[in-house]
Structure 1
Amino acid sequence: MTKVLRAENLVRTLPGEVPVTLVDDINLDIERGEFICIMGPSGSGKSSLLYLLGLLDVPTSGKVWLDGEDTSAYGENELANRRLEKLGFVFQFHFLLAEFTVIDNVMLPIRRLGKLSDEAAHAHALDLLGRFGVAEQAEKHPHQLSGGQRQRVAIVRALANDPLIVLADEPTGNLDTASGATVRQILRDLAHDLGKTVVAVTHDPAFASAADRRIGIVDGKINAAWRPG
């Protein structure tokens, strides 16, 4: 298998009179097509690690390797380009823009990357919405959708630029049981059927049970012995 994401001696410390270390010397290799869940108690550093892996935060020390590239020397523009090209993000709260229609929300990252004409971007977005059963919602606004539909649209938006890796932060944390199960299956299928690498933070043991690998984080460190209570 091919390593697509690697954390090397990764540290994230918040400065202050009493510095707080959120991620403490983590080393981690993630393979293409893996579905990985990061778990741990509240405040353990799970989301902080995810944001570092997703190039949303910059480590205090250590490196993130993305698709074989050392990103530690990248400037802000290079990091933004790599996020657009190779990473997709799904959050607990979908963060769809209320003033935009569903299809315009999905087209936002496509337009930002700038590789498709507007006509081609529209067709691509509509095709993706159809694959995930929400094409009929394309001209609606997010407030007109159910919670499960909004999260499916958020997943479609994450896939808009055909990323190598999808990173999800508590993607089922705001959903009912049935909608959560649907999202869990979608993310699993992305890895197993489409070859995407999926890295998700979750508190939900049922969600984590679908993963190929579970990584416990306690006090900013990987803890193989940790199990949800």
Structure 2
Amino acid sequence: MSGEPAPLVEARGVTRILPATVPVTLVRDIDLVVQKGEFLSVTGPSGSGKSSLLYLLGLLDVPTSGEVLLDGEHTSGLNSDVLAALRLKKIGFVFQFHFLLPEFSVIDNVKLPMRRLGELTHDEIEARARKLLIDLDMADQMTKRPDQLSGGQRQRAAIARALANDPALILADEPTGNLDTKNSQIVQDIFARLVSEQGRTVIAVTHEESFARATPRNVYLVDGKIARDERR
């Protein structure tokens, strides 16, 4: 129906095949529509294509066939520089391993994406980085380096960095995979608040059943295809 807002992210017939002597199909014929403000988990057996799908939705990889639309924009055929700019501005990534730069303090890690984007002044970057860390209960950890933090604190710092450029879409790949039960719940709660209070969209790959059960929507992959797409 005309006039309706475009989905935030959409996969249309997406297939990804790794060329080799025996080609490897990572995902096949994926059709997926994710609206703004959704919180969904992607689950499935090991090797089912969960992370591959996330990287395609996040424009970190490109489909062999089909295409991904981001906020209504066709991304097929865009060069690597344009894709990188789209990722920087519109998508925040959280991985199982935090990938914080060890030589920088927590707050300087959070500032990096804003500096790369170049849309804020020095003072605005400083203020936003501080606010993000305060909101994630990291006010007393800002000047520490990543190796001085607990696993849960490192992941919260990584979430703050993912939020630096105010992205509408957060993509998380096993974000609680290295955390204990308490910190896993903290991260889950943060994602839920980002959706309910800020209207962001969160897509999280997880192997943890408790995490998947807590999301309003679950996409279950088997052999690179969507076997179930359930809403609760």
The TM-score, its normalising length taken from structure 1, stands at: 0.97
Deviations 1:174-224 (A, max 9, x none): 000000000001001111111000000000010111111000001000001
Inter-partner Cα distance in structure 2 for 1:83 and 1:214: 24
Shift of residue 93, structure 1, vs aligned partner: 0.6
| Residue among 194, 197, 202 paired with 2:198 | 194
Q: 1:85 to 1:209 in 2, by over 3 A?
A: same
Residue in structure 1 matched with residue 72 of structure 2 by the alignment:
68
What amino acid is aligned across from residue 62 of structure 1 in structure 2?
G
Shift of residue 127, structure 1, vs aligned partner: 0.9
Report matched runs for 1:115-130 at 5 Å.
115-130=119-134
Inter-partner Cα distance in structure 2 for 1:6 and 1:168: 17
Residue in structure 1 matched with residue 16 of structure 2 by the alignment:
12
Residue in structure 1 matched with residue 57 of structure 2 by the alignment:
53
| Residue among 207, 212, 217 paired with 2:216 | 212
Report matched runs for 1:57-206 at 5 Å.
57-206=61-210
Inter-partner Cα distance in structure 2 for 1:209 and 1:145: 29
Shift of residue 119, structure 1, vs aligned partner: 2.0
1:221 partnered with 2:225: yes
SS in 1 for 2:109: helix
Aligned length: 226
Is the Cα–Cα contact under 8 Å of residues 92 and 167 in structure 2 kept in the other structure? yes
Is the Cα–Cα contact under 8 Å of residues 219 and 229 in structure 2 kept in the other structure? no
SS in 2 for 1:166: strand
The TM-score, its normalising length taken from structure 2, stands at: 0.95
| Runs (5+) with no aligned partner, structure 1 | none
**Greater shift in the superposed pair: 130-139 or 168-177:** 130-139
Is the Cα–Cα contact under 8 Å of residues 41 and 215 in structure 2 kept in the other structure? yes
Identity of aligned residues (%): 58
1:36 partnered with 2:37: no
Instruction: Write out the 4+ residue segments of structure 1 that deviate beyond 6 Å after TM superposition.
Output: none
Is the Cα–Cα contact under 8 Å of residues 218 and 229 in structure 2 kept in the other structure? no
The alignment yields a C-alpha RMSD, in angstroms, of: 1.2
